[in-house]
A = this chain, B = another copy of it.
Amino acid sequence: MTTSRATADDLLRLDQQICFSLSAASRAFNGLYRVLLKDLGLTYPQYLVMLVLWEHGELPVKKVGEHLRLDSGTLSPLLKRLEAAGLVRRERSARDERSVEVRLTEKGVALRERALQVPRRIAAATGLGLDDILELRTRLDSLTAALDTAALEGAQDPEGLP
> How far, in whole Å, are A139 and B121 apart by their CA atoms in the complex?
19
Interface size on A, residues (CB 8 A): 71
Chain B residue contacts of A26, Cβ below 8 A: 22-23, 25-26
Asked if A41 is at the interface of the complex by the 8 Å CB criterion, the answer is: no
CB under 8 Å from chain B, chain A span 122-140? 122-128, 133, 136-137, 139-140
Query: Secondary structure of the A side of the interface?
Result: helix
Partner of A21, one of B123, B141, B150: B141
CB of B35 within 8 A of CB of A117, answer: no
Asked if A28 is at the interface of the complex by the 8 Å CB criterion, the answer is: yes
CB of A125 within 8 A of CB of B8, answer: no
Known: A27-B69, A32-B150. A115 touches B12 (CB 8 A): yes
Chain B residue contacts of A69, Cβ below 8 A: 24, 27
Contact with B along A95-126 (1 / 0, CB 8 A): 00000000000000000100111111111111
Q: Which of A46-54, A57-65, A75-83, A86-94 sits within the interface?
A: A46-54
Chain A contact residues, CB within 8 Å of chain B? 8-9, 11-29, 31-33, 35-36, 44-45, 47-48, 51-52, 54-55, 68-69, 112, 115-128, 133, 136-137, 139-144, 146-151, 154-155, 157-158, 161
